[in-house]
Amino acid sequence: PEAVVKKYLEELKGTPSDEDCIICMEKLSSPSGYGDTCESSTIKAETVGRLAKCQHSFHMICVLAMYSNGNKDGSLQCPSCKTIYGEKTGTQPKGKMEVSTLPQSLPGHRDCGTIQIVYHISRGIQGPEHPSPGMPYTARGFPRYCYLPDNEKGRKVLELLRVAWKRRLIFTVGTSNTTGESDTVVWNEIHHKTEMDTNLSGHGYPDPNYLDNVLAELAAQGVTEDCLRQ
């Protein structure tokens, strides 16, 4: 963890500014509020660092505490502006993503056919990255069927969803918003359309903003067109 923090934060020399550290809410000019709870042999409680791209500053020990409470995947996300450093990965259980095309059109996309994505995840035992390691998790409602228009933008979303799937970002283990069940596989902040012919539920078509919205949700997880060029 210390190596990850030092990779992305540049240690600031001299007297820090009078701003607050938004992680511990103490002033950057005084020691971190996490100095007692998060110990490090190489980072002092008063050391302040700045993230390279977004230039936001924090106590480095606060960032260490934040990182150590996450799934420790080698990436950091700025708590202020959400800029991602490194490659963010999630805690999605093992499964399979299948893709096929259908000749019929989606409402609002009459000029093309349809991409069908089928996600398969089975129940299993939670790993160390999950809320209750060693305990079972359930996987209700699988296989899950999702739909995109088979046009240029829809195909781009599909390729980004493939990246998100490989990085374990589409599902996670948590508590279901709909049933309240805990220790179950749930969607993870990247919305999918699970109905073809109606949008009464909000999970279907027509929805003229959907593709732009899902591109923004993917970008918030660090999945952008840059990933397709690599």
How crowded is residue 42: how many other Cβ atoms within 10 Å of its Cβ?
A: 11
Any alpha helices (H) in 110-199, and if so which ranges?
152-166
pLDDT given at position 15: 73
Q: How far is CA 57 from CA 20, 47, 50, in A?
A: 9, 11, 4
Q: Reply yes or no on whether the pLDDT at 230 is more than 70.
A: no
Q: What's the chain's average pLDDT?
A: 92
Q: What is the pairing mode between strands 184-187 and 171-174? A: antiparallel
Give, in words, the CATH class of 1-85.
alpha beta
The residue to which tokens 């499964």 are assigned? 95
DSSP three-state, residue 187: strand
Q: Report residue 145's pLDDT band, with 50, 70 and 90 as the boundaries.
A: very high
Q: How far is CA 1 from CA 39, 58, 87, 176, in A?
A: 12, 16, 15, 31
Q: Domain extents for the chain?
A: 1-85, 95-228
Find the mean pLDDT for residues 105-124. 97
In this prediction, what percent of the chain has a pLDDT beyond 70?
Answer: 100
Q: Reply yes or no on whether the pLDDT at 216 is more than 90.
A: yes
CATH 3.40.309.10 fits 95-228, yes or no: no
pLDDT given at position 119: 98
